[in-house]
């Protein structure tokens, strides 16, 4: 029996949620990252076709024929080098998904909303 559209939609939503949670966990484990925020995602979201985009846990996931496109907006702690931190996150996430899941991530856009002064102890 072929799965109906409702089952397929639920499975896709679960896949999106799992992917977003894993990416969120990796980002939040990085020293220097204070939080993930949704505040800067509106403009990026409107540039994508409605059927191909999902905003989950502050992470925009967009599936295309050539792979996945991801965008995230971060709040960082003061004292960390922004560009190396972002490049590290991008390369590690892209590599991890390629090796472990066989998923091609074409691009990860990281927006920095703000920098805060104190890292909690």
> Domain with 36 in it: what CATH number?
3.30.70.1350
Task: Please report whether residue 64 resides in a domain.
Answer: yes
Q: What is the pTM of this model?
A: 0.79
Q: What's the domain count of the chain?
A: 1
Task: Please report whether residue 18 resides in a domain.
Answer: yes
Q: Which two tokens stand for residue 92?
A: 């590690």
Q: What is the pLDDT of residue 35?
A: 92
Task: Please report whether residue 29 resides in a domain.
Answer: yes
Q: What is the pLDDT of residue 44?
A: 60
CA distances from 36 to 12, 40, 86, 113 (A): 23, 10, 13, 9
Which domain does 79 fall in, by range?
5-116
Task: Please report whether residue 72 resides in a domain.
Answer: yes
Task: Please report whether residue 35 resides in a domain.
Answer: yes
72, 65 in Cβ contact below 8 A?
no
Q: What span, in angstroms and rounded, lies between the C-alpha atoms of 53 and 63?
A: 7
Task: Please report whether residue 121 resides in a domain.
Answer: no
Task: Please report whether residue 106 resides in a domain.
Answer: yes
Can you give the pLDDT of all 121 residues of the chain as single tens digits? 455 666 677 777 788 888 889 999 999 999 999 999 876 666 666 655 555 667 777 888 888 888 888 989 999 999 999 999 999 999 999 999 899 888 899 999 999 999 999 766 5
Q: Which two tokens stand for residue 50?
A: 């409605």
């Amino acid at each position: 029996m072929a799965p109906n559209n409702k089952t397929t939609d639920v499975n896709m939503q679960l896949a999106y949620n799992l992917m977003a949670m894993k990416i969120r966990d990796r980002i939040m484990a990085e020293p220097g990252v204070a939080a993930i925020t949704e505040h800067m995602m509106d403009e990026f979201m409107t540039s994508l076709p409605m059927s191909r985009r999902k905003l989950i846990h502050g992470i925009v996931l967009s599936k295309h024929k050539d792979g996945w496109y991801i965008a995230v907006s971060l709040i960082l702690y003061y004292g960390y080098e922004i560009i190396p931190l972002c490049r590290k996150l991008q390369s590690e996430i892209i590599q991890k998904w390629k090796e472990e899941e066989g998923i091609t991530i074409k691009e990860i856009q990281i927006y920095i909303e703000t920098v805060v002064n104190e890292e909690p102890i």
